[in-house]
Amino acid sequence: MGGRDLPGGETSSNVWSSLDGIEWTLEGEAGWSPRVCHGYAVFRGRIWIMGGVSDWKRDNQETLKNDIWFTADGRDWTEVKCAKTWSRRHQPATYVFRDRIWIAGGHAEPVNSEVWSWQPPQEWSF
């Protein structure tokens, strides 16, 4: 999901899938903006992405991300709007622990060591 193409380094929001790791299918572009170095987690039957950077050559407050998106099928993505959110960063550590999604550290200026956790609602309404 996402990534960048070489030699120019343009970022993408492409989502690919494979049943065997050999043959791959392009599922399309996700609803989130192109990026690299974002965090991933699988939680409650959904894939989650968090943060990242849209321009690898310029990681600043304009290109760093602090958004959260999820999908149940790899094609339809939904952005999660939170009242409080963590600072923008790329390459965060993301993991699931005690029924929560955690995000820690990552690269940004200034460097930080924030640790945030979030528990999505059990029932979803959009």
Pair of tokens at residue 13: 């929001």
- What lies within 8 Å, CB to CB, of 109 at 6+ separation is 59, 60
- Record the pTM: 0.83
Nearest Cα to 65, choosing from 53, 82, 55? 53
- Angstrom distance (rounded) from CA 48 to CA 34: 15
CA dihedral of 99, 105, 106, 108, whole degrees rounded to 10: 130
The 3-state DSSP class for residue 37 equals coil
Task: Return the pLDDT at 119.
Answer: 86
pLDDT score recorded for residue 94: 92
* CA dist., res. 122 & res. 54, Å (int): 31
How many other CB atoms sit within 10 Å of the CB of residue 88?
20
Q: Which residue has the tokens 């956790």?
A: 117
Residue numbers of the chain with a pLDDT score lower than 70: 5-6, 59, 122-126
